[in-house]
Each structure stands twice: as C-alpha cells, then as structure tokens.
Structure 1
Amino acid sequence: MALSRTTKLAYGLGQIAETIKGTGFNIFLFFFFTQVLGLSGSLAGLAVMIALIFDAVTDPLAGYLSDRSRSRFGRRHPFMLAAALPLALTWYLLFTPPAGLSQIGLFLWLTCFAVLVRGAITLYYVPYLGLGAELTSDYHERTSVAAWRGFCGVCGAALVVLLGVPLFFPESAAYENGLLNPEGYPLVAISGAVLMAVSIVISVWGTRSHTGVPAARGQQTGLSLFANLHSIWRNTSFRALFLGTLLVSISIGITQTLNMHLNVYFWGLTSNNIALLGAGVLLGWPAGILLARPLHRRFDKKPSIVVAALVAALASNIAVVLELLGLFPPSHSALFVPLILLLLFIGGAASGLAMISGASMMADVAQQHADDSGQQQEGFFFSAISFTGKMAAAAGYLVAGVGLDLIGFPLQANPSTVTSEQLDQLALLSLSAGIFAFASACTYSRYQLRQPTGPALAL
C-alpha cells in the first residue's frame, strides 16, 4: 500500500535538521575558524577530522542500538527525539567561542563542539534513515520516500544559502566580503539551533504511527557488532555502495573545505553573489530528484548513479580548469554568471539524482539482506555506509586544511591581498577532489541488484 503524502512530508521534514547542520559546516565552519578567527588550516582540518572520525565510529553503534531498541514508541523515534535539545545547544556553542582564544584554545573549542554536534546528529540521523527504510517495502516507493526527503533537504539548504548568507552577512564598507564579518556567525548559531530542533520534533510527531518493523528474533539477537559487519560485508552490492561512498566522500571533504575559499578569493564573489549562484545548485537538486523515479524505471538505479557521479564530478571542476587555462569568461562578462549558474544547476541535478539513487539502493540492499537472513538491520546498513563516508570525508578535510598551509594561503586575508600564484595553487588543490569523484563511478558499477518485474506503486 502506498504511503500518504502527509507521512512522506513529515518524514522528509526531518531531513532539514541534517541539511542545516551539513550546509552550515560546509559553508561557514571551516571559513569562520580560519579566515575570521585566524585558526591555521592544519589545525582546523585536524579538528574537523577528529570530529568526523568520532562521528563515523558512533554511527554503527547508533544503528546497532536502534535496530535492537524496544519501546511502545518504536525503535527509532525515542533516539530521534532525544537528540533535539543537545543538537540545538551544541550547535549554538560551536559558533560562539569566547573572545581572545589562542590557536590551541580555538582548536580545542572547535574539536570539542564539532564532536558534540556530530554526536547529537548521529543519535538522530542514523535512526531517522533506518525509519525511512522501514516505511515501505516497495522498490519504487522507496525512491518516492527518498525524493520527499531530498526535496525537504533542498528547502533546508535554501534557508541557509539564499536567506542566511545575504541576511547575516551583508556587504559593508568595513569588510571586502560580508562573510569576513564575525557578527553574522552568532545569528547562524541561534537560527540553525531553532530550525534543527523544530524539524526533528515535527518529523517525530508526523511519523509517530510508524513504529518500525519488529526486529527478527532468533539468530539476530545473538549477533555482535562485528558479526553484523562481517554479515553485511559479504553482500556484493553493499560493498559497491560502501566503497563508492568512500571515494566520493573524500572528494566531498576536499570540495566542502575549499568551496568558500574559492568563492571568496578565486572567483572574487560577494556574499550576495554567492547566495545568488547558490540558487543554481538548489534548483538543480529538485530537478535531479524529479528525474530519479523515471530514470530508475527506464534505466534502473545503478546506471543512474554511475552517470550522476560522472556528471557531478565534471560539472564541479570544469569551470576551474577553464579559468586556469584562461578560457572561462571573465567575471565582468555577461556570460560569467549564466555559465556558472548552468554548471551549478547541472552539478546539483546530478548530485540530487545520485543522493536519491544511493539511498534507494541501500534500502534495497537492506531488504535483500533481511529476506536472505531474516535479520532486520536497516539502521546498521545505513550507519555502516555513513561510517565510511565520514571517515573518508575526514581525510578530505585534513588534506585540504594541510594543503592550505603548504601553499602558504594567508589567514584573515582580504581578497585583494591574495596573490595570483596563491589563487592558482588554491584552484589546483581543489581539483584533486575530481580524481576521487570519477573513481567512485567505477566502483558503483559493481552493484548487482536489479529492478524487479511487475507493477509498482504510483508516486
């Protein structure tokens, strides 16, 4: 039976919490601590890496515990609700360090509260993903559930990029770029904390009637954490998703660390322009999400994610390559903004398609495992993928942070003071992400599950 749109919407709204956290980390955190507060790139990268490793290690544990949880409120909802207040509090503190901290003080503050924020989001998000896999057992309806989650995630990102950046970081005479103004970051802290807590509560309340599929009894209850890992690793399709996620996450870690540096320094964008161009990605994601279901029906899920990974890698790197070669239109050209918008739209569409495809494929792998073994382990499957993604992203953040120090990129610098040589080195450092993104497409091609024959539910 098809799920109601109300249930899908309520579930999807829960994605806003993770998206605000993720977008806030990607856009603001590294830039804030390095270029605004003056923390070295190596220490900032190390701090984020430590937090990601902690987060990655706790992911399988959260999945393992929620898979085995028993309560009248279900397996997932108590964990999700318990995370709301700690997440909001630690997020606020992360962006409001005391004034006058030394390099070590800033490093410890960033490490401590990044760890606590990621711990809180793990407590929420791993059970949340497990709940999504349990809402339906239909092959195509899982794509629909993932699509609703994706659409709501885009809305969360839009709040951060299209509203947060120009609203909290307006241009002023005191700063060449509004993102260098420290007064905007407490506003990021309080608004993000409130929105994340509210989205979690709404999602828990709206899906409260779906308490989860009872875990199979018997052999499952005797499996240890490591026995679970061994059991799911034997699944070829799981390994393809696992290794593909590892490679693409290294790419994402490098890209996310350097993205704001590229926008502010390499491209010379203002905060208003950054928000405007961010619309390209935000419009692309829904397009990719809408394409997921028809492409899955026409070509199946594996070809969709392979092509999406290749297109996303190409779209995110081609403008930088052309600029280095002197072939991209200059920033004052009438073609500059449209071309950037087009590439961002294409990259966003490919990323949205890849995200929906990957989530739907993992739900299928979890269902196959349950059918073959009698073990309902949706939370553990998603947490294992999240584990490798975060471990790899941690490496990407560290590589990018150390790379900034190796090229001697200045801290707390106005855009006009950065040399062309430093900008070229920054661009080359960012292009290293593309190697890992292209490699992920090859790994995804080893996925084996195929579309079943027969009727499927309508969207």
Structure 2
Amino acid sequence: MSTAEHIQPKKKYLSLWTKLAFGSGDWSISSFGTLRQIFYAIFLTDVVGLRPGLAAVAIVVGTLWDAINDPLVGRLSDRVRTRWGRRRPFLLWFAIPYGLGFALLWWAPPFENQYLLALSVTLAFMLADTFQTFVSVPLYALTPEITPDYDERTSLTGYRMLFNLIASLVTAVAAPEIVKAALVSGASQQQGYVIVGALFGGLAVIPLLLIFFVVRERPRSETEIRQEQATPLREVLKTAWGNIPFRFATALYMLNWITFDLVAGTIPFFLAYWVAGGNLLVRVFGLSLDSVVLGLLLIVSVLVLPFWVWLSGKLSKNTAYTIGMSFWAVVQLLIFAIQPGQITFILVLATLAGISVSTAHVLPDSIFPDVIEWDELRTGRRQEGIYYGIKNFIRKFSGAVAMFIVLQALERFGYQTPPEGVTFFTQPDSAVLAIRILIGPLGAVLLFSAVLMAWFYPLTREKHARIRKLLARRKDRAE
C-alpha cells in the first residue's frame, strides 16, 4: 500500500486571537439582522404607518433583488485577485457604506401616501441589503479557508455565534429601551429608531475592519485560480444544485431561520398586545417587557452555547441539532397557553427557549464548509463564494418569508396601527389570535420540519473525514 494512501490531514488548531477576531464579524451581521428580525415589522406598521399588507410587499420586492445580488457577489468574491486576497478586500471597501445603509433602514420617510411610503421603504431595504451582501458573503466564505478541520470549523463557528448572540442580546435589550426612553421624554418613536440605527450602524463598521487587518487567507495555486475563473456561473449553479448534502443543508437552514425570524418578528406584537394587554410601556425589573424577555432568552443562549458545541463533538452536528430543536418546538407549543398578565410564565418559557436558540445559531452554519468540500471532491474546485452567496440569499429570503407571513396575517385579521404618541392601545381579538398562532403552533410545526431535514442529512463526521483524506491524497499527487 502506498504512502499516499496513509496520508491524513495534519490537525492544526487555530489561535484564540484568530477565533475571536473572526468571530467578532458576526457582531456586525447579527446586530443588523437582529434589529430587522425583531423590530422591523412593528417599525413599519406602528412607526412608519405602513399598512401590513404593503409592508409585506415592500419586503418581498427587496428580497427579489437579493436573488440577483447574493450569488453575483459570491461569484465576484471567488474571482477577485488582490494582494490582500479575494475575500478581505470587500470588508475594507464596504464596511463604512454598510454602516450608513444600516442607519438608513430605520428612517421613516415623511410621506402621507401609502404607496410612496412603500416605495421609499423598498429602496432603503434594497440599498441596506446590498451593502450587507458585500460584507457578509465574503466574510462567511472565509470560514473554510481558515481551517479544513471538521471540529475546528465547529469551534470557529461557535466563536462567531458567540458574538452573534452577544450582538443579538445587546441590540434586543438596548433598542426598545432607547425607543421607549425617547417616547417617555416627549420625543417620537421615530427619533428613537434613528438613534438606534446610527449607534449600531457605527458599531458594525469596527469588527469588519478588524478582520481585514488581522485575519489572513490561505494562498491559492495558479491552477485553482484558473479553474475558478474558467467555470461559467451557470455551470457553478448547476453543480451546487447537484450537491445532495447542500440541498439538505439549505432546506434545514431555510426552515431553521424562517422559524427563528417568524418567532422573533412576532414577539413585540405578542408581548405588547397579548401579554401586556395593550400597555405599550409596561416595565419589569425596571426595564421594558421586550428587553427583559429578549434579554433573558439571549443570555441563556450565550451561556449554553459551549454545551451545544461540545455535544456536537460528542455525537454529531445533526444529532445535537435534532435534540435542541425538538425541545424548542415543545416550548413554542407552551407559549400558546400563556394568558394576559402572566409575566412569570413568559419569563420561564423565555429561559427554556434560550437553551435551544443557540442550537439554531451554531449548528446549521457549521455544516456548510463540509458540504463545500464534498463539492470540491467532485469538481476539483473550491467555490466558497458562490455557496455562501446562495446561503446568504437563503438567510435573507427566510427572513423575508417570515416577515411576509407575519405582516400578511396581521393585515388579513384586522391589525390596527396605533395613533402616534399613544401608550395604551388594544388590537381586535382576531388580530391577537393570529399573533398567538404565529408564535406558537406555527413556529412548532416549522421547527419539527427542520428536525426532519437534520435527521436525514447525509454527511456524517465519518464521511467528512473520508472526504478530507481523499482531498489530501489528491493534493499530495498534484505536488
């Protein structure tokens, strides 16, 4: 038996500094995503004054633009050649525009006409999303270039998701406090949201520039570069569709994030108009109800994140995911049973949900580098950019689907926009029931669907190890 047949990839551990620096990039992406997931729907209906149905259409139109720009940016980042590499330059070029687009998203146009409002919201959504694409796709495509190891990628993703959850925690707690402080002081909710957008848009710029200056890309051979640049985009997309593990990964990823965004987008409505009975300024422990519930959920998520990374190492990624999501689905069913004024009950369920929410953050992301290497084994090319472009589109498409469902349901069941400046407002019973169904039974059904995809996911740790061995042999022969 030849020596090459015994070759195994040498395990290299990433430094703590590399993991922290790279992980910090998710602060930039998550702060944008968290604010949009949780507060954008209620911002459009209650602050901008847009009818829920029109708000849903504006978001869908913006997402159709995603269908074009995400794969194109992914392809572009695969083909760019600079002295800094092919991914990092995008972080330098687009960090500041991204921060500005972030802030613009939370500006309410001064129009009375509903269609002009919808057009303005659509354009702001598209611009902010374009800049988000130009930083997030190259950022995520760095993952498989930093380490080839199955478990190190899970660890790297764990650090990224740690910052993701911290950003989610800070934005979810701080944003409603800033907005409600503005309202109490006599300012408008709009002014509060402008402050939120400017603050977190500015903070989002810093980690992207840090990664540019700290993280290094692996060198690529001229053969790799020629192969990537010679392959037509249509063939690359066809190859991606033929990647069976990638199909399962994308289905799981889509169901995972539709559920997360559906629940996140419904929470402000559920807390304000059901749990608090229409009291828009209700406070718990000196904070707004939104801040306490979301903060508790996300604090628990951060604390249990290492457990899920450890469990995926002991079992497998899909097994750990199945356990976590099944538990979360049961919690969502219990949420439907909450009655108005049951603050303690909602806090207990927020704690239990937090145990599983970190599973939804870390494990679906950590399987994408593995399916990319399955593609490399088949094609001989590394095409992280196009895969992460598709992944990024699916992430944003999932959020748009979730918000579309929420907003269309509110429109259909009679949701009313509260008058400006009011601090107490109740919704029709039909709208409140729709909100409860969205956050409870529908969320549980979607979670169980994601569990089904994880159960049948074909790329196990053992199969991935074999892929790594075969890739190492191929590289050895080429040398």
Give TM-score, length-normalised by structure 2: 0.85
Relative distance call for 1:297 and 1:163 in structure 2 (3 A) is: same
Matched, 1:451 2:461: yes
Q: For residues 103 and 305 of structure 1, do their structure 2 counterparts lie closer, same or farther at Cα, with a shift above 3 Å needed?
A: same
The code of the aligned residue for 2:217 comes to H
- Aligned equivalents of 1:196, 1:81: Cα separation in 2: 13
Q: 1:396 aligns with which of 395, 402, 426?
A: 402
The alpha carbon displacement at 1:105 in A equals 1.9
The correspondence for 1:234, drawn from 238, 242, 257, is 242
C-alpha spacing 1:263/1:385, structure 2 compared with 1 (3 Å): same
Distance 1:225 1:65 in 2: 10
Change (3 A) 1:288 1:240: farther
Q: For residue 151 of structure 1, what is the aligned residue in structure 2? A: 162
Change (3 A) 1:98 1:353: closer
The answer as to whether partners of 1:27 and 1:260 remain within 8 angstroms in 2 is yes
Show CA shifts across 1:183-235 (max 9, x none).
Answer: 3111112102211112211222221x335655824544332222112212222
Aligned residues: CA RMSD: 2.5
- For 1:64, give the aligned amino acid: R
Residue 322 of structure 1: SS of its match in structure 2? Answer: coil
Q: Which amino acid aligns with 2:332?
A: S
Query: Which of 256, 278, 297 pairs up with 2:294?
Result: 278
C-alpha distance in structure 1 between counterparts of 2:325 and 2:86, whole Å: 33
Counterpart AA for 2:295: A
Equivalent pair of 2:324/2:359 in contact (CA under 8 Å): yes
Correspondence 1:188-267 to 2 at 5 A: 188-207=196-215, 209-210=216-217, 213=220, 216-217=224-225, 219-267=227-275
Distance 1:229 1:97 in 2: 38
Name 1:287's counterpart in structure 2: 303
Preserved contact between residue 241 and residue 447 of structure 1 (Cα < 8 Å): yes
TM-superposition CA deviations, 1:283-325 (whole Å, max 9, x none): 2322342023321222111111222232233323421x212xx
How far apart are the structure 1 equivalents of 2:67 and 2:348? Answer: 34
- Residue 424 (1) aligns with residue 433 (2): yes
- 1:77 aligned onto 2:88: yes
Identity %: 23
Query: For the residues of structure 2 that align with 1:233 and 1:287, how far apart are their CA atoms?
Result: 37
1:449 is displaced (CA, Å) by: 1.6
CA 1:212/1:257 → structure 2, altered by over 3 Å: closer, same or farther?
farther
Structure 1: gaps spanning 5 or more residues? 455-459
Q: Secondary structure at the match of 1:412?
A: coil
Measured after TM superposition, the shift of residue 47 of structure 1 is: 1.1
Q: CA deviation at 1:174?
A: 8.2
Tell me, in whole angstroms, the C-alpha distance in 2 between the residues paired with 1:186 and 1:394. Answer: 22
Cα-to-partner distance string for 1:215-258 (whole Å, 9 max, x where unaligned): 82454433222211221222221111111223333334433332
> 1:386 and 2:396 equivalent?
no
1:169 partner SS: helix
In the alignment, the residues of structure 1 paired with residue 21 and residue 404 of structure 2 have an alpha-carbon distance, to the nearest angstrom, of 36
Give yes or no for contact 1:44–1:107 (8 Å, CA) kept in 2: yes
Aligned positions of 1:53-452 closer than 5 A: 53-170=64-181, 181-207=189-215, 209-210=216-217, 213=220, 216-217=224-225, 219-268=227-276, 269-270=282-283, 272-319=288-335, 321-323=336-338, 331=341, 336-337=343-344, 339-412=345-418, 415-430=424-439, 431-452=441-462
1:308-365 CA-partner distances (Å, limit 9, x unpaired):
232233323421x212xxxx5x526xxx33x433322332332212321112211111
Alpha-carbon spacing, 1:387–1:421, altered in 2? closer, same or farther (3 Å) = closer
The amino acid across from 1:436 in the alignment is L
For 1:419 and 1:104, the matched residues in 2 are separated by: 25
* Cα distance in 1 between the residues matched to 2:257 and 2:312: 23
Counterparts of 2:130 and 2:193 in 1: how far apart (Å)?
22
- Determine the structure 1 residue equivalent to 2:471: none
- Does the Cα contact within 8 Å between 1:87 and 1:117 map onto a contact in 2? yes
Cα distance in 2 for partners of 1:312, 1:382 equals 27
CA contact (8 A) 1:288 1:352 kept: yes
Q: Which amino acid aligns with 1:310?
A: S
Matched letter for residue 205 of structure 2: A
Q: Indicate how the Cα distance of structure 1 residues 187 and 376 shifts in structure 2: closer, same or farther if over 3 A, else same.
A: same
Aligned length: 441
Whether contact under 8 Å (1:288, 1:351) holds in the other structure is no
Larger Rg: 2
Q: Give 1:47's aligned residue.
A: 58
Does the C-alpha gap of structure 1 residues 389 and 164 become closer, same or farther in structure 2, counting only changes over 3 Å?
A: closer
2:24 — aligned with what?
13
| CA–CA distance in structure 2, aligned partners of residues 150 and 77 of structure 1 | 20
Q: Which moved more, 1:441-450 or 1:287-296?
A: 287-296
Cα pair 1:53 1:390 within 8 Å, conserved = no
| 2:39–2:265 contact (8 Å) kept in structure 1 | no
> Aligned equivalents of 2:60 and 2:151: distance in 1?
36
Asked if 2 retains the 8 angstrom alpha-carbon contact of 1:73 and 1:211, the reply is no
SS at match of 2:418: coil
Q: Does the residue aligned with 1:417 lie in a helix, a strand or coil?
A: coil
Give the counterpart letter for 1:371 in structure 2.
L
Q: Deviations over 1:39-89 (max 9, x none)?
A: 100111111122223224321111111112211101101112222121122
Distance 1:212 1:266 in 2: 56
8 Å CA contact 2:166, 2:302 repeated in 1: no
Aligned to 2:3: none
- For 1:372 and 1:422, locate their aligned partners in 2 and report how far apart those are by CA, in whole Å: 51
| TM-score relative to the length of structure 1 | 0.88
Q: CA deviation at 1:97?
A: 3.2
Question: Unmatched 5+ residue regions in structure 2?
Answer: 1-11, 277-281, 467-479
Which secondary structure state, in structure 2, belongs to the residue aligned with residue 74 of structure 1?
coil
Matches of 2:139 and 2:253, distance apart in 1: 19
- 1:17 is displaced (CA, Å) by 0.9
Q: Which moved more, 1:29-38 or 1:401-410?
A: 29-38
What amino acid sits opposite 2:447 in the alignment?
A
Corresponding residue of 2:4: none
Give 3-state SS (helix, strand or coil) of 1:160's partner.
helix
